[in-house]
Structures are given as structure tokens and as C-alpha cells.
Chains A and B, each alone.
Chain A
Amino acid sequence: EVQLVESGGGLVKPGGSLRLSCAASGFTFSSYSMNWVRQAPGKGLEWVSSISSSSSFIYYADSVKGRFTISRDNAKNSLYLQMNSLRAEDTAVYYCARVGSTGTLFDYWGQGTLVTVSS
């Protein structure tokens, strides 16, 4: 069974940093691209960042470019999101999501981890 479990969320002050993790199991992690998608309270989904299976290709939404860094460790079946210079508008539930084999959909999602940026 495919499982994605996020962790690392919490309360952080504006300008602070946080590192999110996503532990994957039930599939060959190193064969799939992965993404982070966030959802602000009461709002819609927003794509944040993508990383290819071998980390060769990495992309970010304009809203986080230069502040967030996505990475993965295929040996540990883990995905990460380093978030720096956090702003109030980064407050959201952050989901990790697997890109399906066609490369055009998100077929499995974690349960999410809440990041709150507030003084």
C-alpha cells in the first residue's frame, strides 16, 4: 500500500525557517517524481515545487522561488522541503504528492502537515 507521511510542520515566526519531510513507503520511491502542494486555511490547492526521480529536474512556483528548496534522499525514501524567509502567506497545510506514471497527475497524497507563520 502506498503511504506518504509528512512531518515537520509547526509554528514559526515571520522570517524563520522550517524543514518538512515526507516519508514514502509501499512503492519504489526512486522511480517517481514528487511534488509539494499547499493549501492555505479555507483556500484552494496551490502547487509549490516538483523534483524528478533522480533530482535532475527541480521546479518551483514563483511564490516560493528563492526561498524554498526541494530535495530527496532515495536511499531513505524521503522527500524534503526546506523553507526559509517564511511569510504569513506561507501559512498552509503542506501535502507531498506522488506524480503518477504518466507524469500528468498526482495519484497519491499524504495527509498533510500544518505550517503556521505568525509572530
Chain B
Amino acid sequence: QSALTQPRSVSGSPGQSVTISCTGTSSDVGGYNYVSWYQQYPGKAPKLMTYDVSKRPSGVPDRFSGSKSGNTASLTISGLQAEDEADYYCCSYAGSYSWVFGGGTKLTVL
């Protein structure tokens, strides 16, 4: 299983919107609507932000939204806040009870 492809870094100013892409194949992202996104601060455990492409767990602000088109999923963060600065990882179900993660994207809030 090859890792999903994410940009290494993105940036935006407070109040702006940023979108992080996650490209896989028809065997993972394109084959299932089971893409999730995780936020990770340095030295901390990942935190679930969205799942099943576009659903949000309770407690996650609606500024975070997920989508998918073909083999590419995206996480959009609107109304950027300083606290959003973190690493973000996408994850897709890849069949046979296995998962594949993206390489991670570092979000910088300017």
C-alpha cells in the first residue's frame, strides 16, 4: 500500500480559507467513501476532524469540512484561526480491513 499524496505544506492568514488535498487511487480514496482527516499538534496524538468523507464528530467546529471527487479527497478549513496551525493527515479505508494514511500536511497560519 502506497501512502496517499498530500502537499507537504499549506498556509493562510487568519480568517482565510485553505484546502488540503489527498490523492489516492481507485483502490482506496476512489473506491470507498471512508476518508477521514486527523489533526496533530507536535508531540500529541492525532485527533479525528472529519470522517466518511464529509461528516464531523461532535465538538469539531463546522469550519472544518471534507469532500471528495474521484480519487482525491479534500479538507477545507474556513475562517482560519491561529489554533488551527498543526499537521493534518488524511486516511482512507483500502479494503481487506486495512487503512492507508497520507504523508501529512503542515498548516501554517501566517
Contact = CB atoms under 8 A, between A and B. Distances in A.
A44 B103 contact: yes
Query: A interface, how many residues as a size bin?
Result: 20 to 34
Given A44-B89, A95-B45, A100-B51, A61 B1 contact: yes
Nearest to A58: B97
A104 B34 CA distance: 6
Nearest to B44: A111
Summarize A's interface: helix, strand, loop or mixed. loop
Nearest to B46: A109
Contacts of B91: 45, 47, 105-106
A102 interface: yes
Interface residues of B, number: 26
B97 A44 contact: no
Contacts of B32: 104
B109 to A, nearest CB: 21
Interface string A18-55: 00000000000000000101000001111100101000
B36 interface: yes
Interface in B84-109: 89, 91, 93, 96-104
Given A106-B46, A107-B51, 12 more contacts: A44-B3, A45-B104, A46-B3, A50-B97, A59-B96, A59-B98, A100-B48, A102-B51, A104-B32, A104-B52, A105-B36, A106-B91
5 contacts: A45-B89, A47-B100, A104-B51, A105-B34, A107-B57
